[in-house]
Each structure stands twice: as C-alpha cells, then as structure tokens.
Amino acid sequence: MAKVTFQTDLCKGCGLCVEACPKHILAIAREKINQKGYHPAEMTDQDACIACAFCATMCPDCIITVEK
C-alpha cells in the first residue's frame, strides 16, 4: 500500500498535483486553511493510490512524499 504525505503548512494550493493524479484522488481542501492562508492539497482516498508519484513530481515546492 502506498503512503502519501503532504507538508500542508508549505502548500500553496496551486492544484498541479490534483491535475497530475491519474486516479483523481487528490483535491484542494475547501474546509482547511494552512498557516500561509492557502487551501492545501489533500488525499481523498489513500487506499486507491498506486504510488505513481506524479503528484510529487509536479509539485513546484516539493512538499509531497510518496512511499510504497
């Protein structure tokens, strides 16, 4: 099973990871705001993740870690 972690305090909510996910299991959190004032990205279904790491590759701030 894959494990994806986000450093949500550093996320600026650009949405590049959301667009890159082939399983469509990432989303911008509408209910959360990080300490910088942005809505961070979040995983909606951890069990569906295939650990492709497209999200981590697309992230301009390198805040996503993917582990198998």
Dihedral sign computed on CA atoms, order 35, 37, 41, 42: positive
Alpha carbon distance 36, 32 (integer Å): 11
CA distances from 22 to 10, 36, 49, 52 (A): 23, 28, 9, 9
Owning domain of residue 55: 3-67
Residues 16-21, mean pLDDT to the nearest whole number:
97
Domain CATH code at residue 18: 3.30.70.20
Residue 6 predicted with pLDDT over 90: yes
For residue 68, the model assigns a pLDDT of 86
Domain count of the fold of the chain: 1
CB atoms within 10 A of CB 48: 12
